A and B are shown apart, each in its own frame.
Chain A
Amino acid sequence: MSTVTPTQQSAARTTFVSAGFGLSFIGLLKSETIKLWSLRSTYWTYSLVIVASIGIAVLMSFALSATAGFDPATGAAMPMDDAQIFVIASTSGLVLGQLIVAVLGVLSISGEYSSGMIKSTLTAVPNRLAALWAKVSVLFVFTFLIGLVSVVGSFLVAIPRLGAEDITASLFDVDVLLPLLGNVLFLALIAVFAVGIGAIVRSSAGGIATALGILLLLPTVVGLFSLAVEWVNDIVPLLFTVAGSEMVYPNTMESWQAFLVVLAWVAVSLGVAALLLKRRDA
């Protein structure tokens, strides 16, 4: 039963698709791109990431120009060069963006479960994992691009106020560009991490709570414990958000070590998600 030749064409039926179309990863990437951009929530969330980033950059440029070179708390001189000031102004808003893309990442798959779309997705792609990798790839690429737009836009809006205080830096200065790209990379990896959480939990509410819990709550809880238990201090750098920040501002470990910690979080999330997706009934 591989080929069927329509013997008669009635008015009710139009022509059939000719042979030769099959599953391909490129096709899955196209499909996931269509899925991502055919939902209003995508426009809302990505717009919010950009707006929050740029808005906070404006505020930060004022705050930083007023206190440049001085610690606002003590008034003591602070060793902060112009490049660092620009990086802080350009990336402060991404912290909000991190929470927003985490929600988007969870919803990109939990929304399929809550609506039943997952059944359509998995009947089209019975090898399930390819569908997950396609979704992850598409979300990574677009979140990276949106993050890039956010930090570059933030950098540009910070120029006038900081420039007035003779604080200047070039976007293509390595000390500016690398930290910006590092932040954008972490933003995109958070989205990917959240897809894994969404695929594991399979519910929007539970997935968002879990993802935000790991991003927001876990550092606080571990921080509290570290006050009471000495060795807990040692695992603080292993927290997802702490490692993400140390990718850009190395403190207790090297940038590349922090990057590996971040990748480990993402790998565990996606690994468990892949295992469960393959095993569970849809």
Chain B
Amino acid sequence: MIQAQSLTKHYGSKTAVDAVDFTVQPGKVTGFLGPNGAGKSTTMRMIVGLDRPSAGTVIVNGKPYHEHKAPLREVGVLLDAKAVHTGRSAYNHLRAMAATHNIPTSRVNEVINLTGLESVARKRVGGFSLGMGQRLGIAAALLGDPATLILDEPVNGLDPEGVQWVRKLTRQLAAEGRTVLLSSHLMSEMALTADHIIVLGRGRVIADASVADIISSAAQNTVRVRTPHTAALATLLAQPDVTIINIEQDVLEISGLTVNEIGDRAAAAQISLHELSAVSASLEDAYMKLTQNEVEYRTGDASSHTEAEVSR
């Protein structure tokens, strides 16, 4: 369990995290979303005491992080894959980390097997690919068998098999009753992995709800209609709470009406439909809507904010 209260971080005159309050519950995977510069990483760094909050507090498993007698057993953290000396082998890195807590070498071998690093464990980390670096970071996070896991973009650089493995692993860790806080820019992956979502924008919490609630509150379900008579259909359906967008020459995207309503009315007016399908909103749609005013680093063209937020 992670509890932040009025957590604030200033860097000079810039406010990276602005009095955020949130609770990350055990037994769930909580997704931590937000555009670049929204304050996700800074918040994660404050949770484990790498950055000192300018104001407010954050406690993890009931205490400030630095008060724990065995921090690696309480919290496993992957902040970025580059938290390893490049001249050291993965095995020795994990052994050095384990030694601080008197964690036996057998556990080092376990996490190496668990993360699939057996073949490269004795090689120097400097030669690792991004994906192997991520696996090593995850191995280090799991070393203490912690009750809480904080993973900052763990799937960044992983192959599809690795992405799926992280999804299963985090789901399982949460199912065992652990607290899992996970950040990612891959919305489709987050939708599959997370139970709960916290969205940060410019250092503030702009949403904190279950995945289903986030989607239903921020994005509307639409109906896709293909018909040769788009103009007639649009006139027929026009009313104040209905939005109709002509997205292709013969395709309309309609929100505010159900598939049944549109089908019935078109039939009554004898307008032929070639396609009628419900398009359910995705987490990505909801995220875009929530953060469209919060993006700090936007690309030049305002309409292309998708790229600014998803790419890195």
Residues of A within 8 A of B (CB): 1-8, 10, 12-17, 19, 21-24, 26-28, 30-32, 34-35, 38-41, 111-112, 115-120, 122-127, 279, 281-282
Query: Interface with A: B28-36, B174-182, B195-203, which one?
Result: B174-182
Between A and B, 25 residue pairs with Cβ closer than 8 Å are: A1-B1, A1-B148, A10-B172, A12-B165, A16-B145, A17-B104, A17-B144, A17-B145, A21-B102, A22-B101, A22-B102, A30-B100, A34-B92, A35-B92, A115-B82, A116-B82, A117-B83, A122-B50, A123-B48, A123-B79, A126-B68, A126-B71, A127-B66, A281-B51, A282-B50
Contact A115 B85, beta carbon cutoff 8 Å = yes
Which residues does chain A contribute within 8 Å of B70, judged by CB atoms?
A: 21-23
Which residues does chain B contribute within 8 Å of A31, judged by CB atoms?
A: 96-97, 99-100
Contact A2 B176, beta carbon cutoff 8 Å = no
Nearest CB of B to A117, in Å: 4
Residues of B within 8 A of A (CB-CB), count? 60
A182 and B165 alpha carbons, distance in the complex (Å): 57
Contact B73 A22, beta carbon cutoff 8 Å = yes
A113 and B40 alpha carbons, distance in the complex (Å): 22
A12 with B66, Cβ < 8 A, contacts A1-B148, A28-B100, A116-B80 known: no
8 Å CB contact of B96 from A8, A15, A34, A281: A34
**Counting CB contacts under 8 A, is B86 at the interface?**
yes
B2 nearest CB neighbor, chain A only: A1
Nearest CB of A to B193, in Å: 15
New contact pairs (19) apart from A30-B100, A281-B45, CB-CB < 8 Å = A21-B103, A22-B70, A31-B100, A35-B88, A38-B88, A112-B85, A115-B84, A116-B83, A117-B84, A118-B83, A119-B50, A120-B83, A120-B93, A124-B97, A124-B100, A126-B71, A127-B66, A281-B51, A282-B50
**Chain A: interface secondary structure?**
loop
A7 nearest CB neighbor, chain B only: B176
Which residues does chain B contribute within 8 Å of A119, judged by CB atoms?
A: 50, 79-80, 83
Nearest CB of A to B306, in Å: 31
**Counting CB contacts under 8 A, is B49 at the interface?**
yes
Which residues does chain B contribute within 8 Å of A38, judged by CB atoms?
A: 88-89, 92-93, 95-96
**Counting CB contacts under 8 A, is B275 at the interface?**
no
Contact A27 B101, beta carbon cutoff 8 Å = yes
**Counting CB contacts under 8 A, is B62 at the interface?**
yes
A38 and B91 alpha carbons, distance in the complex (Å): 10
A17 with B107, Cβ < 8 A, contacts A27-B99, A281-B52 known: yes
Contact A1 B87, beta carbon cutoff 8 Å = no
Which residues does chain A contribute within 8 Å of B73, judged by CB atoms?
A: 17, 19, 21-22
Nearest CB of B to A229, in Å: 41
**Counting CB contacts under 8 A, is B156 at the interface?**
no
A125 nearest CB neighbor, chain B only: B100
A3 and B70 alpha carbons, distance in the complex (Å): 13
A27 and B97 alpha carbons, distance in the complex (Å): 10
A36 nearest CB neighbor, chain B only: B96
Nearest CB of B to A138, in Å: 11
**Counting CB contacts under 8 A, is B77 at the interface?**
yes
Which residues does chain B contribute within 8 Å of A17, judged by CB atoms?
A: 73, 103-104, 107, 144-145
Which residues does chain A contribute within 8 Å of B114, judged by CB atoms?
A: 12-14
Contact B110 A14, beta carbon cutoff 8 Å = yes
**Counting CB contacts under 8 A, is B69 at the interface?**
yes
A170 and B4 alpha carbons, distance in the complex (Å): 67
Nearest CB of A to B263, in Å: 45
